[in-house]
Structure 1
Amino acid sequence: MTRSITRLADFLPYRISITSNAVSDLIAREYRTRFGLKIPEWRVMAVLGDVGEATQRELVAATRMDKVAVNRATKTLGERALIQRAPNMQDGRSHHLALTSAGQALYAEIMPLALEMEAQVLAVLDDAEQAQLATLLGKLLRRADDLTDD
């Protein structure tokens, strides 16, 4: 049975999106003010900090941002000497991107801040609720991926 949504505020995708935006904006305010980074730039840096190196295509998949946003972010980060490019020998059209030593230092400075802000947001939930939230978000993401693959 399909239920009727009469208010946007009750629509799950909208609620997830605005919650995500509110949390991202909270953290982004700090790294924009202190480090001059926008959300897409930080997301690219965070992925590269986790994985070491990636192509732009891999960054698009990992961040779920569109190609244009990733391209702009990598261009800006490159201009600031926070990431470096190396040729991809298996695909002459792409490059491997990685944090420079300056990028790694900035990442190491921002990560504790981001984790502290996350802890402040999650403080409203007890440990069991935090674990349940992580599980539920994982399930929803896997389901959305499954539906996309169909």
Structure 2
Amino acid sequence: MTRNTPEFAQSLTIQLNRAAHVVTARIATVLKERYRLRLTEWGILSQLSEHGALSQTDLVRLTGYDKVSISRAAIGIVKRRLAKRWICGEDGRVHFLVLTSEGEAMAVETGQTVADIEAGLLSTIALDRAADFRAILTEVKDLAKPSTEEHMLQPRTILLRVVA
């Protein structure tokens, strides 16, 4: 019988998944050992550092993590005083997270650590090939996104108008 499908191990899905798993595990190990941070906690710190105050809904959209993971990570970073909760004056049901000065320092330091790990992983690849690799990953991700994702940006826009 002739097979017209690629072998499992060679499929794009499996190759991307395995590569992401290995890289993520390496970064997660370093974050845990050096900073006592879980990957989701680092993701929140990074997004708060980049965007400022964000709701948990914003963080789900920006990070791709599920609500439960975001909620648990938010509790962790608030307990460690890396972030504070801020309740929206217009709608008390909406809570925002904002970095403390300790959280901002941690975001900068861990961001540099992650950048160094990534640079080390790509150091044996020529710079133009590394840039092409990142561009291809972005293109594949964008092509695979469901078209309904565009409507997910509207709640943030509305929310920011209410807060402002």
TM-score (norm 1): 0.88
Q: 1:119 is matched by which residue type in structure 2? A: A
Task: Tell me which residue corresponds to 1:4.
Answer: 5
Task: Tell me which residue corresponds to 1:125.
Answer: 125
C-alpha spacing 1:136/1:91, structure 2 compared with 1 (3 Å)? farther
Task: Tell me how large the CA RMSD over aligned residues is.
Answer: 1.8
Task: Tell me which residue corresponds to 1:71.
Answer: 71
- Cα distance in 2 for partners of 1:13, 1:23 equals 16
11-20 vs 33-42, which moves further: 11-20
Asked if the contact 2:81–2:102 (Cα under 8 Å) also holds between the matched residues in 1, the reply is: yes
Structure 1 residue 130 displacement after superposition: 1.3
Name stretches of at least 5 consecutive residues in structure 1 with no aligned partner. none
- Cα distance in 1 for partners of 2:77, 2:120 equals 28
Q: How does 1:51-66 map onto structure 2 within 5 Å?
A: 51-66=51-66
Q: 2:7 is matched by which residue type in structure 1? A: T
Q: 1:6 is matched by which residue type in structure 2? A: E
C-alpha spacing 1:145/1:90, structure 2 compared with 1 (3 Å)? farther
Task: Tell me which residue corresponds to 1:145.
Answer: 145
- Cα distance in 2 for partners of 1:48, 1:13 equals 30
Structure 1 residue 147 displacement after superposition: 4.7
- Cα distance in 1 for partners of 2:92, 2:17 equals 37
Secondary structure of 1:125's partner?
coil
Identity over the aligned pairs, expressed in percent?
A: 28
Asked if the contact 2:83–2:100 (Cα under 8 Å) also holds between the matched residues in 1, the reply is: yes
Name stretches of at least 5 consecutive residues in structure 2 with no aligned partner. 151-164
Structure 1 residue 121 displacement after superposition: 0.6
- Cα distance in 1 for partners of 2:91, 2:142 equals 29
**Larger radius of gyration between Structure 1 and Structure 2:** 2
Q: CA-to-partner distance for each residue in 1:69-94, whole Å, 9 max, x for gaps?
A: 01110011111111111112454322
Secondary structure of 2:145's partner?
helix
Q: 1:56 is matched by which residue type in structure 2? A: Q
- Cα distance in 2 for partners of 1:57, 1:95 equals 9
- Cα distance in 1 for partners of 2:85, 2:13 equals 36
Q: 1:23 is matched by which residue type in structure 2? A: V
TM-score (norm 2): 0.82
67-76 vs 89-98, which moves further: 89-98
- Pairing 1:26–2:38 present: no
138-147 vs 21-30, which moves further: 138-147
C-alpha spacing 1:115/1:149, structure 2 compared with 1 (3 Å)? closer
